[in-house]
Amino acid sequence: MKPVIIQREAAEELDEAMAWYERRQGGLGLDLEKEVQIAVDRIRRDPLVGMQYRNTAVRFVRVKRFPYVVYYRELENAIWVIAVAHGRRRPGYWKNRRL
């Protein structure tokens, strides 16, 4: 299995989302983190599990229970997580990130 590298911006997005959910209800941010980790583990086991984003090398997996999507790209030696994005806000904002 290839290692998964989570881009700094993606990690910050997850941290912000976790904090938002924690302010709503204690423990909910940790639930989000767990569901994102489950999605990342699925990607690590099978990089082709995600749907292709339009006509690009980027793929995505939806996070269960939460309206978030993990966008990633499989590279030769690793899997690069580009974004942990809210599925309904600012579509495509992450596309200009270094891949």
Domains and CATH numbers, the chain: 4-87 (3.30.2310.20)
**pLDDT of 94 higher than 90:** no
Stated pTM of the model: 0.92
Q: Per-residue pLDDT averaged across 84-94, rounded? A: 84
Angle at 31 between CA 36 and CA 63, to 5 degrees: 30
Buried b or exposed e, range 46-72, using 16+ CB within 10 angstroms = ebeebeebeeeebbbbebeebebbbbb
Q: How do residues 2-52 score in pLDDT, each as one tens digit?
A: 999 999 999 999 999 999 999 999 999 999 999 999 999 999 999 999 999
Alpha-carbon 78 to chain mean position = 15
Specify the higher pLDDT residue, 16 or 1: 16
Q: Per-residue pLDDT averaged across 61-70, rounded? A: 97
Task: Name the residue among 1, 56, 76, 6 with its Cα closest to residue 36.
Answer: 6
